[in-house]
């Protein structure tokens, strides 16, 4: 233990190879083609990768770059990639199974195989953003959709989900209670769950969701030829972390140092790393970082995140606002970036690590380090003061 909030992963040897077990979770094959296919979507464009040289200088590293997912699809979060593409994947594989043909995005959108696709009713539990993405997918392809929300999800997020035509069921409990209720009701009604988290016997949709997230990692490597030496990635259940870690590990000549960042009260990855197996969070996941408010990891992601994330760290609630402010009101010359409480968590992790000497040294950060952060959501509520 370097500090009470930063711990090394004893399993993550640099010599570890990206093998079959990892490829089952995150398959890099076909991702460039998927990015090409996305060009058929009228509103899609790669998101910016901002350079923050003034901040890098202040923190004592060579470069800080922020992949700005607040710009994704005009949707405001990276989650747009997961739910929409997983709904598409479910429908196109149903058509494929029925007729032995490959269907493209446009054909499913046009309703070319309505006799198959319209049978599907989609559902998911969500803290907000994933539900909005599944709702957007269902709307795009003309399917009914039911989203289960925990009680802490904001009214704005509920409105945004309803605006995409989905029905919303509020659960008087946390995210994990919403998952349990979604499973029960979907089984009763024959709805197809598009979950971003996996469980025993259920991993097809979460793998499609992560495949969608790989698009952002692919965009980073295409734009940033030099590649990062360090990646700070925030985790809820671990889908985003698995996609980013898995994709970069698979395609880069050298695996960067990966640091997984979580809220103190939702430290399921931090605890799982220490235990060497999936383990519940120590707290009740009561955090302003709604997208990260998970008490359990997605078990399917273990071979990537559990084996190859180098470090796990937690951040405190009062570190969120300063990180959002730093992005919104940057140092001289750096671009301003609008982030939400979960979106800025990687930035909060980096600044925490850079202000404590023991952590800075342990992570081998120095004047040569090139750091990647992911602003996973934009500012969907109020501006940070
Ligand atoms: C904005 C934001 N960032 C990060 C995450 C974490 O993603 P995952 O649950 O896949 O770890 C989420 C999840 O909902 C999110 O909404």
Closest to 204 in 3D by CA, of 193, 215, 213, 214: 193
The verdict on 161 and 15 lying in the same domain is no
User: Residue 350's pLDDT is what?
Assistant: 98
Residue 34: other Cβ atoms inside 10 A: 16
The Å distance, Cα 206 to ligand 1 centre, comes to 13
The answer to whether 158 and 168 are in contact (CB under 8 A) is: yes
Flag whether 382 is in a domain: no
Nearest CA to ligand 1 atom 10: 239
Q: What is the number of the ligand 1 atom nearest to the C-alpha of 127?
A: 14
Spacing, Cα 43 to ligand 1 middle (Å)? 22
Alpha-carbon distance of 272 to 40, in angstroms, equals 40
* Long-range CB contact pairs, 175-184, < 8 A, 24+: 175/125, 175/127, 175/150, 175/285, 175/293, 175/294, 175/295, 176/294, 176/295, 176/296, 177/150, 178/125, 178/126, 178/148, 178/149, 178/150, 179/125, 179/148, 181/125, 181/148, 182/123, 182/124, 182/125, 182/148
Residues 274 and 353 in one domain: yes
- Residue 125 belongs to some domain of the structure: yes
Take atom 12 of ligand 1 and give the residue whose Cα is closest.
291
| Residue of minimum CA distance from atom 5 in ligand 1 | 291
- Spatial distance between the Cα atoms of 295 and 178, rounded to a whole number of angstroms: 12
pLDDT at residue number 43:
76
Flag whether the pTM goes above 0.85.
Answer: yes
Is 219 found in the same domain as 112?
A: no
User: What's the rounded Cα separation, in Å, for the pair 285 and 294?
Assistant: 6
Tell me if 206 CB under 6 Å of ligand 1.
no
Reading the chain (385 residues) residue by residue, the pLDDT tens digits are 789 999 999 999 888 999 999 999 999 999 999 998 888 777 789 999 999 999 999 999 999 999 999 989 888 899 999 999 999 999 999 999 999 988 888 889 899 999 999 999 999 999 888 999 999 999 999 999 999 999 988 898 899 999 999 999 999 998 889 999 999 999 999 999 999 999 999 999 999 999 999 999 999 999 999 999 999 999 999 999 999 999 999 999 999 999 999 999 999 999 999 999 999 999 999 999 989 999 999 999 999 999 999 999 999 999 999 999 999 999 999 999 999 999 999 999 999 999 999 999 999 999 999 999 999 999 876 566 5
Residue with tokens 């039911």: 146
Q: Could you tell me if 221 and 332 lie in one domain?
A: yes
C-alpha span between 323 and 326 (Å, rounded): 5
Whether 188 is covered by a domain: the verdict is yes
- Please tell me the distance between residue 100's alpha carbon and the centre of ligand 1 in angstroms: 35
Could you tell me if 222 and 304 lie in one domain?
Answer: yes
The secondary structure element, H or E, covering residue 147 is strand 144-149
384: in domain: no
Residues 112 and 230 in one domain: no
Among 194, 207, 376, 378, which is best to mutate for testing ligand 1, by the most ligand atoms less than 8 A from CB?
Answer: 376
Which domain-ending residue is among 144, 177, 202?
Answer: 202
Q: Are residue 280 and residue 295 in the same domain, yes or no? A: yes
Give domain status of residue 238, yes or no: yes
Among 66, 160, 240, 243, say which to mutate for ligand 1: greatest number of ligand atoms within 8 Å of CB: 240
Confirm whether 324 is domain-assigned. yes
Name the domain count of the chain: 2
The domain boundary, picked from 143, 170, 202, lies at 202
282 & 326 share domain: yes
Distance (Å) from CA 173 to ligand 1 centroid: 19
- Pick from 170, 202, 234: which residue ends a domain? 202
CATH of the domain at 242: 3.40.50.1100
Is the C-beta atom of 352 inside 6 A of ligand 1? no
Q: Are residues 84 and 188 in the same domain?
A: yes
In a domain, 380, yes or no: no
Q: How far is the CA of 292 from the centre of ligand 1 (A)?
A: 6
Residues 224 and 369 in one domain: yes
Query: Ligand 1 centre and the CA of 214: distance in Å?
Result: 14
**381, part of any domain:** no
Domain extent at residue 274: 6-78+207-375
Residues 167 and 259 in one domain: no
Q: Are residues 138 and 59 in the same domain?
A: no
Query: Which burial class, exposed, middle or buried, applies to 277 when counting CB atoms under 10 A from its CB (0-12, 13-18, 19+)?
Result: exposed
Residues 97, 101, 106, 111, Cα dihedral to 10°: -60
pLDDT of residue 355: 95
CB of 376 closer than 6 angstroms to any ligand 1 atom:
yes
């Amino acid at each position: 233990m370097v500090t009470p909030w930063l711990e090394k992963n004893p399993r993550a040897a640099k010599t570890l190879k990206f093998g079959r077990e990892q490829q089952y979770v995150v398959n890099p094959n076909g991702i460039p083609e998927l990015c090409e296919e996305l060009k058929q979507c009228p509103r899609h464009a790669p998101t910016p990768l901002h350079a923050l040289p003034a901040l890098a200088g202040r923190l004592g590293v060579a470069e800080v770059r922020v992949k700005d997912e607040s710009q994704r699809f005009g949707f405001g979060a990276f989650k747009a990639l997961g739910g929409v593409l997983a709904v598409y994947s479910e429908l196109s594989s149903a058509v494929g199974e029925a007729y032995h043909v490959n269907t493209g995005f446009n054909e499913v959108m046009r309703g070319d195989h309505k006799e198959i696709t319209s049978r599907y009713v989609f559902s998911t539990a969500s803290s907000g953003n994933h539900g909005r993405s599944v709702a957007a997918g269902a709307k795009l392809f003309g399917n009914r959709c039911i989203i289960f929300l925990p009680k802490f999800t904001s009214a704005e997020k509920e409105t945004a989900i309803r605006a995409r035509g989905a029905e919303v069921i509020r659960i008087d409990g946390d995210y994990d209670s919403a998952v349990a209720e979604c499973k029960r009701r979907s089984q009763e009604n024959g709805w197809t769950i598009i979950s971003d988290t996996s469980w025993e016997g259920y991993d097809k949709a979460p793998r499609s969701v992560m495949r969608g997230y790989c698009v952002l990692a692919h965009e980073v490597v295409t734009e940033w030829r030099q590649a990062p030496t360090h990646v700070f990635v925030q985790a809820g259940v671990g889908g985003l972390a698995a996609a980013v870690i898995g994709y970069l590990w698979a395609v880069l000549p050298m695996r960067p140092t990966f640091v997984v960042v979580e809220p103190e009260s939702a430290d399921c990855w931090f605890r799982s790393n220490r235990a060497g197996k999936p383990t519940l969070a120590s707290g009740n996941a009561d955090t302003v970082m709604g997208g990260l408010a998970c008490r359990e990891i997605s078990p399917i992601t273990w071979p990537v995140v559990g084996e190859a994330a180098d470090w796990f760290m937690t951040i405190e609630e009062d570190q969120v606002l300063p990180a959002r402010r730093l992005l919104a009101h940057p140092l001289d010359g750096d671009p301003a970036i609008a982030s939400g409480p979960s979106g800025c968590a990687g930035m909060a992790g980096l600044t925490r690590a850079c202000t404590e000497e023991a952590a800075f040294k342990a992570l081998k950060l120095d004047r040569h380090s090139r750091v990647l952060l992911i602003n996973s959501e934009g500012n969907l509520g109020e501006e940070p003061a």
